[in-house]
Amino acid sequence: MLTFSLQSGSNGNCIYVEAGDVRLLFDAGISGREAALRLTRRGRDIRDVTALILSHEHRDHSRCAGVFARKFKLPVYVTEPTWRRIESQTGPVEQVRHFVAGRRLEFGSVVVHSIPTPHDAVDGCAFVVEHEHRRLGILTDLGHPFPALRRLLGELDAAYLESNYDPQMLDNGIYPDDLKARIRGPQGHLSNPEAAELVCRHRDRRLQWVILSHLSENNNDPELALDTFRAVVGRDFPACVAGRYGASRILEVRD
C-alpha cells in the first residue's frame, strides 16, 4: 500500500491512497488543478482515481468535491447528513454514493472502515484503509482521544494522525476565548501531547510510522509538533509532518 498527503491543514486537506489496483482520495479541500498537478508530479493521474471519500462537511475538507466529481468524473462517497450540508455549495454531482458512518466501504480487494468521530461536524468520520492485512489510518478532526481511537492505534500499521495545536501557543495566541475553548474541547482537535501519548501507547506493536497531520497555522509549528512527539514517543520512531502547502513524499505501508 502506498500513500501521500497532497495537503494537510486548515487551508485544505486531501490524502491519496493506492492499494492493489484501487486509487482513493480522501477529502477535497484543495483545488482540482492543484490536486491533479501534485498527483502528476508523483506519477499518478487523478482520472485513475477510483473514488473520492469525504470525512465531513467543513470547507477545508469538502469545498472542491464538486469540481473533483465533474472535472475528473469521480464518484463521491459521503454520508447522507454530510451531503445535505454541502449539496447546495457543491453543485451538480452525477455519482453520489451514500454510506453510513461506522460501516465499511468495499472497492474490490480494498476495504475502507469508517469510524464516527466526536468532532463538531454533523456526521464526521475517520477512516482505516485495509488491503491484504495492511491497515492505514486516516485520523484527523477527531474531537478528543475517544476510547475507540485509543484502541484503534494498536490495530494499525501506519497512520495520518491529527496533531493540531500546541497548548501553550493556543493559550497565548490571538484567537478569541470561545474559539480556543472549541479547539481544546471534546468536539475540537487533538493537541501535540495528545497525539504523542496515543502513539506512545502502541509504538512497540504494529505501527511502522506516523504522519502528524492537520497542524494549525497559528497555534502550532512543524518542528514543535515533531519535538513534542519525539520527546514522548522516542526519536527512533519514524514520524514526519504533512505539509500545509504541498504534497508529502510517497510512503509505503509494508507487509
pLDDT, tens digit (0-9, with 9 covering 90-100), for 109-136: 999 999 999 999 999 999 999 999 999 9
Lowest mean pLDDT among 30-44, 75-89, 194-208: 194-208
Distances (CA, A) of 190 to 33, 110, 140, 213: 30, 28, 8, 10
Q: Tens digit of pLDDT for each residue in 224-242?
A: 999 999 999 999 999 999 9
Whether the model pTM is above 0.75:
yes
Nearest to 216 by CA among 159, 148, 175, 165: 165
Q: Tens digit of pLDDT for each residue in 128-159?
A: 999 999 999 999 999 999 999 999 999 999 99
What is the DSSP code (8-state) at residue 143?
B
Beta-bridge mates of residue 78 = 98
Which residue shows C-alpha cell 479541500? Answer: 29
Name all domains of the chain by residue range, CATH numbers in brackets: 2-252 (3.60.15.10)
Instruction: Determine how β-strand 2-7 pairs with β-strand 251-252.
Output: antiparallel
Q: Are 63 and 90 in contact (CB under 8 A)?
A: no
Q: How far apart are CA 213 and CA 91, in angstroms?
A: 29
Neighbours of 154 (CB within 10 A): 13
Q: Are 140 and 213 in contact (CB under 8 A)?
A: yes
List CB contacts of 149: < 8 A, sequence separation 6 or more.
115, 117, 126, 139, 142, 198
Q: Are 197 and 146 in contact (CB under 8 A)?
A: no
Q: Residue range 63-83: average pLDDT?
A: 97
List CB contacts of 96: < 8 A, sequence separation 6 or more.
75, 76, 78, 83
Q: Are 71 and 49 in contact (CB under 8 A)?
A: no
Q: How far apart are CA 79 and CA 243, in angstroms?
A: 27
List CB contacts of 179: < 8 A, sequence separation 6 or more.
none
Nearest to 159 by CA among 98, 222, 239: 239
Residue 226, helix vs strand vs coil: helix
Q: Residue range 26-33: average pLDDT?
A: 98
Average pLDDT, the chain: 96
Looking at residue 255, what is its pLDDT?
84
Beta-bridge mates of residue 25 = 16, 52
Distances (CA, A) of 215 to 20, 36, 100, 226: 30, 23, 28, 11
Q: How far is CA 141 from the centre of its chain?
A: 8
Looking at residue 88, what is its pLDDT?
93
Residue 101 pLDDT level (bands cut at 50, 70, 90) = very high
Looking at residue 205, what is its pLDDT?
81
Nearest to 5 by CA among 253, 254, 252, 250: 250
Q: How far is CA 8 from the centre of its chain?
A: 8
Looking at residue 216, what is its pLDDT?
96
Q: Residue range 193-219: average pLDDT?
A: 94
Q: How far apart are CA 143 and CA 4, in angstroms?
A: 23
Looking at residue 203, what is its pLDDT?
82
